[in-house]
Amino acid sequence: MASMEETKLPLKLLVDKERNRVAVAEAGGDLVDTLFSFLTLPLGTIIRLLSNKHGKDEAKEIGCINNLYQSVESSNDEVFWNKICKRMLLSPRNPCEELCQKLKLKVDDTEPMKYFMCSNKCKRDDGVFVKGGTMYLIFDDLRVLQSSPGKSVQQLLQLGYKNFHNLTQKSLNVGLNEM
């Protein structure tokens, strides 16, 4: 089985050569599912993931919340009622944990809860949050729309693109590091 680092999802870009920026991206449901999964992440998990990715000294700051997280992290275990309290603050549970485990590209590295259940014959293979077989448009302000030729042109016109000759298509594969 491939590791999470090896998972790559296709992404098509329309790049404005003149402005040297992406006008719009087109992606499948798997990539949009991963993008939308950011909304399910608890704040403590976001801080931890940013710290792990960039290291403590280079961590991206989100206001003073990083200081709050580091205060919990550096506090002695005796400050808390028990070790579980400290662990809950540093690695809070995602309320959509079960759904996020089905993502092809998992951003949250928190260990999932383990449950013992009877097997379920009903299986959802068509996406996690959005319909998997659908294509989506992603704009630089993170607006996401279901893809259709009319919407593409309409949105590009609203963004000020009148001459589509300056736009070139570029295809790439997005992995965990790029997300």
Going residue by residue through the chain, which has 179 residues, state the pLDDT in tens, using 9 for 90 and above. Answer: 445 458 999 999 999 988 888 999 999 999 999 999 998 999 888 888 888 766 655 656 777 888 889 999 999 988 899 999 999 899 898 888 888 888 999 888 887 776 665 555 444 768 899 987 889 999 878 889 999 888 888 888 888 888 788 899 999 999 988 88
What does DSSP say about strands 135-138 and 9-16: parallel, antiparallel, or unpaired?
unpaired
Q: Residue 13: its pLDDT value, please?
A: 95
Residue at 5: amino acid letter: E
Please give the pLDDT value at position 121. Answer: 47
Show the tokens assigned to 164: 């589509």
Q: Which residues of 70-109 are buried (b: 16+ CB within 10 A; e: fewer)?
A: eebeeeeeeeeeeeeebeebebbebebeeebeebbbbbbe
Per-residue confidence (pLDDT) for residue 4, from 0 to 100 = 46
CA–centroid distance for 59 within its chain: 18
Q: Concatenated DSSP letters for 79-113?
A: GSSSHHHHHHHHSPPPTTHHHHTT-SS----PPPP
CB atoms within 10 A of CB 36: 17
* Cβ-based burial of 12 (10 A; exposed 0-12, middle 13-18, buried ≥19): middle
pTM (2 d.p.): 0.77
Tokens encoding 116:
């013992």
